[in-house]
């Protein structure tokens, strides 16, 4: 089986951007190449650093826009996240209202559900509101890792 | 229950700024999203970094203004601090006289009372007075954490 | 006559800080030493650069606090501004509501009235509001200079 | 007349954020304090520098989000732009599709219409698309200035 | 007419990447918004800065890959270049052998043909070959501008 | 009891600067707010960082002036040092002759006597003499801490 | 005549530091080597840059210490200032009270009297008082130069 | 005619490196693409910046190795230098003894002879010898350019 | 006994600089203030960092000058080194030929002999010779410390 | 004639370092290659930048060592200075006492005598004495250049 047989977003005929609410179904995964013996005969260990500087959502109470750079660090297990689908998923927060902490918590959980990584950490570096930058972090480790 | 059902400051019809003395009653909290199973089904661990570069108070003896950047690091428990209420709370020191150390100690205690975090540290990076910058730090850890 | 015979703020028995509204009467001046033949027998030319990083005022509409660094450049004429009185004068904006542009315009005008300098420029580097920093500048040159 | 008698957005009971298309009617102005003899008795000259790091719009063809920092420099005439209304106006591009060049051109024109400044320049520092950052600039000078 | 009525590459059902030789036919243009009275009623002046850090071609003699960052500065006339088509056009050099100077010269000429700008400059910041970085520049100004 | 009932230097009618010899009696302390149950109901832990860039004394043999930045780190016990009294105390070295090492040792001892801290470290970053900067450090820990 | 026949401070049996008031008689000069045909047979043009980071004086009103870095630039005429005597002269401000502007003006005048340079500029980069750094400059040019 | 029909060094079956003495015959040129109407139909203007950080020669007297970064700026005329041949040419100084100034002068002259550029400048940034870095520059402009 | 009763170099009527060979007899010590109960009643712990950027000696074979910055770290015992005598001692290497390693070893030994410190480390950061910087270090610890 | 026929210092069997007094006879020159038609057939223009960070001399009055970085910029005429001879010449100041200004003036004059350059500037960046760095500059231009 080819690693990308089931990907929809990447190279699709027409990408439909969804902006109304976070949609974990937009996320797509492909088999972690580090987990394939044909690709990784020596069993080298893999890890990932992903920086997403263009995250924006709305304040759940006032409706005003929030902006953040998300930094995702991960030791993948059986799956890797496809990056265009990650962009579409993060774009789906655009018109959605949720507190900084809840956004970061939700993103970390959706990635844990999708990928079952060995370890993952998501940090949201939000720009200041009222002169105060508030940066939440979420971290998860697979039991036994 | 919605996370922000009980918030007053954020998005209120009219914010009443209080500047005469520190008023912990201005602080508002909302349920820590990391503690909600619906938002955090995988039980990821959360932490927070908050930078407040616009803190100002008065010297308790001379009445002259003091300025500081407050840096708050926290592992929340059941509650998170709402950031606009934090701004209003910090703003309530504007016309209040108190030593640097006491301000930092008070802020840390008020946040412990409000939030019962697992761990918190508050550092006050005050600008120089008499050519001398004095930076106090306060730290608290919930017993058993 | 001693240069500082008429100064009130500097070294006063007790400084009374006024925070309710801008009070140009707080500003004090002393004879520009460069203009005194006993101190400047050779007639050397003088200029001044003053940086005030702790300016704060209120928004005239919402009442929320604003913060700025003011930078003042000047070629003095007959008078110099006394720096503690300048601090007290700038401190008198603490509980006063006025737009950024008007604060800078007012400060420049009050210094022109007090000092009749040959040239002066006042820049207000305000911290962001709504994510947007707005920096006004005011400049004045004595006719014929 | 008070400088802010006619402002709606700033300190309003409830801000209504509009995200569907650029709406110049959101922009508000107030009389340039530098143009008021009571505030500027000496006739000092004013100028403005405004940085807006949180601009976002959509691509008019693909619908994908674009991000930019807008930098506005201005010598105002009779009017100044109110900064919260500027934030709301820029926020109204959030779900609107338009090319980078057209956004910058439109913003410059809307500000010229509103403010009739002596001089204005708007630069859009857009983040890369396809690995390529494209930065348009628009500039206008009142005839005779 | 809509500014993007005739664009093919942007948002097309399927992008066909061409890598065998530079193909100016891949370039697409759209009417310069600054030249449309409906978008630019005040006739503001426009300019553009485009940075393309991912250019790659082959050495015409040895076949080894070359890499460059192209920096394009322009005062557009009647047309603007569409940025995805620019990416595809630059991508068409991928398997093509041509000297650094000729690549930059060709790109500048192809953009002049397409856009008839008032002024354009293209600089190729090539990475070292044999330890030697060689950076050619091409510049063109419309007669009378 | 108010924390600052017994302070003399701060806000006094007239500060008498003493410059002839180090005078530990100039140092004043106030009850450590972290040690007061009313201010610190949760018993948060406090620490202090103080930077004094304007220390000057005389060489005990040649009489020439020495300059240093003193850096003081401390975990206070029952008392905190009042910062204006610290400035006055450090100022009292101005006309006093003592070697770098002895100055730092004396300052550390005077602060231990005054404050009985849990831990303290004083570093003297002296400017070069004869082209040679000499930086002594003194450190003290309360037995059992 | 040897250039240093008449110097007293440099290499004296015992340097007597004077700290009570500025004493221009402490300044010593030696014949500008650039003006001596035996040393400068080709008539090369000389200039000087001198940085004095350890200047300290007292406030004339409060008696509190002030600190500055003085930067002196000069095109000498017939004389050069001897640098140890300059240090002693600057040290004589140690217990003297005078405003920043007057110190800089006085130093410039004393050097003009001593040296009759072709051009001289003295800048005083004082450390902040009340959070405000104030930097005066004095400049003089010999008529006809 | 193809631009690279006559090139020998680039892509030759076997490069013969010559290290014994500077050999201008190693330099090869190709027709300046900016001068070819087929490549430059619009007559855009070209310029070049070439950095060569790996130049090494020998001291003509002691035989010890010298190292330099050569920086070449040029407005080409009818010809461009082929960069691999430039590398071979510069490599031919490896076992050759010549002073820094003469190397730079020779390289500039050899390039003028080969290329007849409109303008050229060659700077040699040599590493220190005896603790002293010596950097010669050579510059040439075609008469009438 | 005064700490500096027996010092010769510091403040002597006339310093005789010796430049012909390293002379440990130039080094002078004074009782470590940290070891004096009157100065250090609390028994605070002392340490020292000394930087000497102006060390120069000769190559023992070629006679050419060498230059270094010496960095000395120490926990003193009963004695401290007087810094002007250290300068004179280091100056006595000026016309002396010795390898880098031997200089550093000698200096460390001479200081151990003079001071019997608890711990000492001497590092010589020599400038390059033949393009190669060579940095020797010497370290000594008193038995039982 | 070979450019280095008459050089003595460079590559001599044994370099005799002279340290007792400045000896311009140590300086050697070789014909400026830019002035030789065989080396510079096109008449390219040459210039030179030389940095000498290891200059040391003695104070003429106290005998203590001084250190400087000398920076020499030059447009040579008929001659160039040979760099090892320059090192030896600068080394000859090692045991010589002379003021900073006189050293720089002398070096500039000796180079003018030796080289008859079209233009030359010598700057001495001396390390601080008494905490004060003093930097003299000397400049000369050949009449008619
Ligand atoms: Ca899917
Ligand atoms: Ca939603
Ligand atoms: Ca109060
Ligand atoms: Ca008054
Ligand atoms: Ca008011
Ligand atoms: Ca729209
Ligand atoms: Ca091809
Ligand atoms: Ca007391
Ligand atoms: Ca004393
Ligand atoms: Ca005298
Ligand atoms: Ca006095
Ligand atoms: Ca050939
Ligand atoms: Ca040879
Ligand atoms: Ca002795
Ligand atoms: Ca010897
Ligand atoms: Ca001598």
Asked if H143 has any chain J CB less than 8 Å from its own CB, the reply is no
Q: Which CATH class is domain J26-141?
A: alpha beta
Instruction: Check: CB of residue J33 under 8 Å from CB of residue J47.
Output: no
Residue entry with tokens 């420029």: C121
With an 8 Å CB cutoff and a minimum of 3 pairs, decide whether chains A and E touch: yes
Residue A50's pLDDT is 97
Q: What is the F100 CA–ligand 10 centroid distance (Å)?
A: 31
CA dihedral (G59, G65, G70, G76) in degrees, to 10, reads 60
- What pLDDT tens digit does each residue of chain G (145 aa) get? 466 667 777 766 556 688 989 999 999 999 999 999 999 999 999 999 999 999 999 999 999 999 999 999 999 999 999 999 999 999 999 999 999 999 999 999 999 999 999 999 999 999 999 999 999 999 999 988 8
In our burial notation (b when 16+ CB lie closer than 10 A, e otherwise), range E106-131 reads bbbbbbbebbebbebbbbbbbeebee
Residue B66: active-site member: yes
The answer to whether domain F24-141 has CATH 3.30.1130.10 is yes
Burial of F10 (0-12, 13-18, 19+ CB in 10 A): buried
Residue A141's pLDDT is 97
C54-113 residue pLDDT tens:
999 999 999 999 999 999 999 999 999 999 999 999 999 999 999 999 999 999 999 999
Residue entry with tokens 């992008």: E15
Contacts of F128 in chain J (CB under 8 A): 128, 131
Please list, in sequence order, all residues whose beta carbon lies within 8 angstroms of the beta carbon of residue G108, skipping any fewer than 6 positions away.
C42, C44, G120, G121, G122, G138, G139, G140
CB-nearest to F136 from I3, I7, I46 is I46
Asked if C48 has any chain G CB less than 8 Å from its own CB, the reply is yes
Q: What is the C94 CA–ligand 3 centroid distance (Å)?
A: 15
Q: Is B109 helix (H, G, I), strand (E, B) or coil?
A: helix
Residue H1's pLDDT is 46
pLDDT band at E8 (very low <50, low <70, confident <90, very high): confident
B56-95 residue pLDDT tens:
999 999 999 999 999 999 999 999 999 999 999 999 999 9
Interface H-J: count of C-beta contacts within 8 A: 95
With an 8 Å CB cutoff and a minimum of 3 pairs, decide whether chains F and J touch: yes
Instruction: Check: CB of residue J52 under 8 Å from CB of residue J89.
Output: no
pLDDT band at C144 (very low <50, low <70, confident <90, very high): confident
Test the C interface: residue of D26, D44, D72 with most C CBs within 10 Å: D44
| Pairwise CA distance, residues F73 & H50, whole Å | 53
Instruction: Report the pLDDT averaged over residues A91-112.
Output: 97
* Helices of type H across G17-117: 83-91, 100-115
Q: What is the G123 CA–ligand 10 centroid distance (Å)?
A: 24
Instruction: Check: CB of residue H117 under 8 Å from CB of residue H76.
Output: yes
Asked which of A32-36, C13-17, D27-31, I15-19 is least confident by mean pLDDT, the reply is C13-17
Asked if G16 has any chain I CB less than 8 Å from its own CB, the reply is no
Let me know the angle formed at the C-alpha of J91 by J88 and J93, rounded to the nearest 5 degrees. Answer: 130
Q: What is the D29 CA–ligand 6 centroid distance (Å)?
A: 24
Nearest ligand by distance to the CA of H102: 13
pLDDT band at J1 (very low <50, low <70, confident <90, very high): very low
Residue H142's pLDDT is 94
Contacts of A18 in chain D (CB under 8 A): none
**Contact between B13 and D11 using a beta-carbon 8 Å cutoff:** no
**Which residue in chain C is spatially nearest to D43 when comparing CA positions?**
C140
| Pairwise CA distance, residues D49 & D71, whole Å | 8
**Which residue in chain A is spatially nearest to C66 when comparing CA positions?**
A131
Interface F-I: count of C-beta contacts within 8 A: 93
Percent of chain D with pLDDT over 90: 81
| Pairwise CA distance, residues D50 & I12, whole Å | 63
Residue H144's pLDDT is 85
Residue H13's pLDDT is 55
Percent of chain A with pLDDT over 90: 77
| Pairwise CA distance, residues F71 & F50, whole Å | 6
Test the A interface: residue of D20, D86, D94 with most A CBs within 10 Å: D94
By residue count, chain G amounts to 145
Residue F128's pLDDT is 96
Nearest ligand by distance to the CA of I102: 15
Nearest ligand by distance to the CA of F102: 9
- Does the pLDDT value for residue D22 go beyond 70? yes
Which of B15, B142, B141, B5 lies closest to B89 in space, CA to CA? B15
Q: What is the E37 CA–ligand 6 centroid distance (Å)?
A: 19
Give bridge partners of residue I74 from the DSSP assignment: I48, I120
- Does the pLDDT value for residue D15 go beyond 80? no
Instruction: Check: CB of residue C78 under 8 Å from CB of residue C33.
Output: no
Instruction: Check: CB of residue A19 under 8 Å from CB of residue D95.
Output: yes
CA dihedral (E110, E114, E120, E121) in degrees, to 10, reads -20
Structure tokens of H116? 């007849």
Percent of chain I with pLDDT over 70: 92
Asked if D13 has any chain A CB less than 8 Å from its own CB, the reply is no
Contacts of H137 in chain J (CB under 8 A): 46-49
Catalytic residue among G5, G16, G23, G59: G59
Residue D17's pLDDT is 80
Q: What is the D57 CA–ligand 6 centroid distance (Å)?
A: 9
- Does the pLDDT value for residue C31 go beyond 90? yes
Residue J63's pLDDT is 92
Instruction: Report the pLDDT averaged over residues J128-145.
Output: 94
pLDDT band at I42 (very low <50, low <70, confident <90, very high): very high
Asked if D96 has any chain E CB less than 8 Å from its own CB, the reply is no
Residue entry with tokens 């712990």: I45
pLDDT band at F14 (very low <50, low <70, confident <90, very high): low
Residue E73: active-site member: no
Instruction: Check: CB of residue E61 under 8 Å from CB of residue E22.
Output: no
- Does the pLDDT value for residue C28 go beyond 50? yes
Residue G9's pLDDT is 74
E69-101 residue pLDDT tens:
999 999 999 999 999 999 999 999 999 999 999
Catalytic residue among E66, E80, E103, E108: E66
**Contact between H130 and I64 using a beta-carbon 8 Å cutoff:** yes
Residue I13's pLDDT is 53
Our CA-based measurement puts residue I128 at a distance from the nearest CA of chain H, in whole angstroms, of 7
Test the I interface: residue of F77, F100, F136 with most I CBs within 10 Å: F136
Burial of F48 (0-12, 13-18, 19+ CB in 10 A): buried
Q: What is the mean pLDDT of chain J?
A: 91
pLDDT band at C1 (very low <50, low <70, confident <90, very high): very low
Q: Phi/psi class of residue G16: alpha, beta or left (left: φ > 0; alpha: ψ in -120 to 50)?
A: beta
Please list, in sequence order, all residues whose beta carbon lies within 8 angstroms of the beta carbon of residue G114, skipping any fewer than 6 positions away.
G24, G27, G29, G79, G81
pLDDT band at B1 (very low <50, low <70, confident <90, very high): very low
pLDDT band at A31 (very low <50, low <70, confident <90, very high): very high
D76-101 residue pLDDT tens:
999 999 999 999 999 999 999 999 99
Chains within contact range of chain G (3+ C-beta pairs < 8 Å): B, C, F, I, J
Contacts of I13 in chain G (CB under 8 A): 13-14
Instruction: Report the pLDDT averaged over residues F53-73.
Output: 96
Nearest ligand by distance to the CA of D93: 6
Q: What is the H27 CA–ligand 12 centroid distance (Å)?
A: 6
Q: What is the mean pLDDT of chain G?
A: 92
Q: Which CATH class is domain I47-141?
A: alpha beta
What is the CATH T-level fold of the domain D46-141, as seen in this structure?
GTP Cyclohydrolase I, domain 2 (3.30.1130)
pLDDT band at J43 (very low <50, low <70, confident <90, very high): very high
With an 8 Å CB cutoff and a minimum of 3 pairs, decide whether chains I and F touch: yes
Q: Which CATH class is domain C29-37+44-141?
A: alpha beta
DSSP assigned state of E33: G
CB-nearest to B127 from G64, G67, G131 is G131
In E13-127, at which residue ranges do the beta strands (DSSP E only) sit? 29-31, 45-58, 65-75, 79-81, 119-126
| Pairwise CA distance, residues E22 & E96, whole Å | 7
Residue entry with tokens 């008020």: B110
Neighbours of E64 (CB within 10 A): 10
Q: What is the A145 CA–ligand 1 centroid distance (Å)?
A: 28
| Pairwise CA distance, residues H99 & H61, whole Å | 9
Q: How high is the ipTM of this complex?
A: 0.90
Residue H130's pLDDT is 86
**Contact between D113 and E41 using a beta-carbon 8 Å cutoff:** yes
Our CA-based measurement puts residue B53 at a distance from the nearest CA of chain D, in whole angstroms, of 19
Q: How many Cα neighbours within 13 Å face the side chain of G127?
A: 22
Contacts of I10 in chain G (CB under 8 A): none
Chains within contact range of chain B (3+ C-beta pairs < 8 Å): A, C, D, F, G
D33-75 residue pLDDT tens:
999 999 999 999 999 999 999 999 999 988 999 999 999 999 9
Residue C14: C-alpha distances to residues B63, C17, F82 (Å):
10, 9, 19
Residue E62's pLDDT is 85
What is the CATH T-level fold of the domain A24-35+47-141, as seen in this structure?
GTP Cyclohydrolase I, domain 2 (3.30.1130)
Percent of chain J with pLDDT over 70: 90
Please list, in sequence order, all residues whose beta carbon lies within 8 angstroms of the beta carbon of residue B77, skipping any fewer than 6 positions away.
B32, B35, B115, B116, B117, B118, B142
| Pairwise CA distance, residues B36 & A99, whole Å | 13
Chains within contact range of chain I (3+ C-beta pairs < 8 Å): F, G, H, J
Asked if C44 has any chain G CB less than 8 Å from its own CB, the reply is yes
- What pLDDT tens digit does each residue of chain H (145 aa) get? 466 667 777 666 556 677 878 999 999 999 999 999 988 999 999 999 999 999 999 998 888 899 999 999 999 999 999 998 999 999 999 999 999 999 999 999 999 999 999 999 999 999 998 899 999 999 999 988 8
Instruction: Check: CB of residue I92 under 8 Å from CB of residue I20.
Output: yes
Q: Phi/psi class of residue D42: alpha, beta or left (left: φ > 0; alpha: ψ in -120 to 50)?
A: alpha
According to CATH, what is the number of the domain E29-34+47-141? 3.30.1130.10
Asked if H11 has any chain I CB less than 8 Å from its own CB, the reply is no
Residue D2's pLDDT is 67
Q: Do the annotations mark residue C139 as ligand-binding?
A: no
Asked which of C8-22, D102-116, D126-140, J45-59 is least confident by mean pLDDT, the reply is C8-22
With an 8 Å CB cutoff and a minimum of 3 pairs, decide whether chains B and A touch: yes
Largest separation between any pair of C-alpha atoms in chain G = 53
**Which residue in chain C is spatially nearest to G102 when comparing CA positions?**
C33
| Pairwise CA distance, residues B9 & B17, whole Å | 10
Our CA-based measurement puts residue E110 at a distance from the nearest CA of chain A, in whole angstroms, of 28
Q: Do the annotations mark residue E81 as ligand-binding?
A: yes
Residue entry with tokens 């001046």: C29
What is the CATH T-level fold of the domain B28-37+45-141, as seen in this structure?
GTP Cyclohydrolase I, domain 2 (3.30.1130)
| Pairwise CA distance, residues F82 & F15, whole Å | 14
Asked if E33 has any chain D CB less than 8 Å from its own CB, the reply is yes
Query: Per-domain residue ranges for chain A?
Result: 24-35+47-141
Structure tokens of D24? 């110049």
| Pairwise CA distance, residues H86 & A3, whole Å | 46
**Contact between B10 and A134 using a beta-carbon 8 Å cutoff:** no
């Amino acid at each position: 089986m080819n690693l990308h047989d089931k990907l929809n977003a990447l190279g699709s005929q027409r990408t439909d951007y969804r902006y109304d609410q976070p949609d974990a179904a937009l996320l797509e995964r492909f088999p972690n190449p580090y987990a394939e013996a044909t690709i990784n005969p020596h069993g080298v260990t893999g890890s990932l650093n992903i920086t997403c500087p263009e995250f924006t959502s709305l304040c759940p109470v006032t409706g005003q826009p929030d902006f953040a750079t998300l930094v995702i660090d991960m030791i993948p297990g059986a799956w890797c996240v496809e990056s265009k689908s990650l962009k579409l998923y993060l774009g789906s927060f655009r018109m959605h209202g949720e507190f900084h902490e809840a956004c970061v918590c939700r993103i970390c959980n959706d990635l844990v559900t999708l990928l079952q990584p060995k370890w993952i950490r998501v940090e949201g570096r939000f720009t200041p509101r009222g002169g105060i930058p508030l940066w939440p972090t979420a971290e998860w480790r697979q039991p036994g890792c």
